[in-house]
Amino acid sequence: MSELDKLRKQIDAIDDNILELLNRRSEIVIEVGTIKRAEKSRFYKPDRERQILERLTDRNRGPFPNDALKAIYREILSASVSLEEPLKVSCLGPLATYTHLAALRHFGSSAAFLPVDGIKKVFENVETGKAEYGVVPIENSNEGVVSHTLDMFVDSELQVVAEIIIEISHNLLSKQTDRSKIRKIYSHPQGLAQCRGWLETNMPGIPVAESTSTAKAAELAAKEPHTAAIASEIAARMYDLSILERNIQDNRRNITRFLVISKEFPHRTGNDKTSIMFSIKHKPGSLYDVLMPFKRAKINLTKIESRPSKRKAWEYIFFVDMEGHIEDKKIRTAIDALSENCLYLKILGSYPQGKVS
């Protein structure tokens, strides 16, 4: 037996051990599911999943890379949750949008994804119980906040239970294999805006057309000859398109943040973020007054955004993200002080801080 054959035999033996251990793990997961069902406890716990991933990456001595380890364990955790009870997740569709990609990275491929054609419907699916969770975009590092998502929180009682932060990679997809044969390019308005410079330099004079999503653009490119789409790599696989050019976004650091919404409220993990919304009295210095409690408590505000309330002329609602959990004493104290100067105050959620993936 050659040295190569001996090494392959060792790999086969290790794979057999991994398979046996995965099935032993699954048997325990099923027992956990039985206990959760009896106690009427929720099956998916993002704080527990985060602890598992952090513990494993901290213990990993290599050479197996942590990014790959996390990707594998997300799938293991996803499959484990499905053994306890299938997890239904609503997201902005169709499948292969960047929102779907974010949901895949967070929940894994064993979740049942329910794509819908609008952010409002994502909220409705979770509110009515058609889905346990929803995934919606909230902001892009280049294009700014997604206003419609902010507006939905005004009347919704859903909580933010997690955030997903992914690096967006736009690709030029087509049935064609020669870029010179492209006569029209489809994409979502944000995709077109984020690739405007590349298009002007590399595809001058080629007309562009807006689509409802990058996935819809890929679907159109799959049907119409001599067209292309700006979309994700997963869209290329789903619609059987060739990738003519990769990473055509003008800013290579193109980050989009998504929120996971649900009816639950996650417990403190020690590395959390809290989101609130409020409106204030229309008088000089009112915004200064409401922000002072955070300064005194040395709380880092990571985002502040304002939107018209749409209920009264010149009345605005402010959305604020801060580091910390509502169960932290200084966060609770600052928010209590804030409420004294607010016309309206709502805690949108406290949840584990996301990392770029």
Catalytic positions are: 256, 258
Give the three-state DSSP class for 9.
Answer: helix
Distant-in-sequence, close-in-space partners of 57: CB < 8 Å, separation ≥ 6: 66, 69, 70
| Longest Cα–Cα distance in the chain | 85
Q: Are strands 342-352 and 272-280 parallel, antiparallel or unpaired?
A: antiparallel
**Inter-residue contact 89 to 107 (CB < 8 Å):** yes
Neighbours of 217 (CB within 10 A): 30
**Which pair of tokens denotes residue 100?**
């779907």
* Distant-in-sequence contacts of 334-339, Cβ < 8 A, 24+ apart: 334/293, 334/294, 334/296, 334/297, 334/299, 335/276, 335/293, 337/293, 338/276, 338/278, 338/290, 338/293, 338/294
Look-up of token digits 């993200």: 321
**Inter-residue contact 49 to 164 (CB < 8 Å):** no
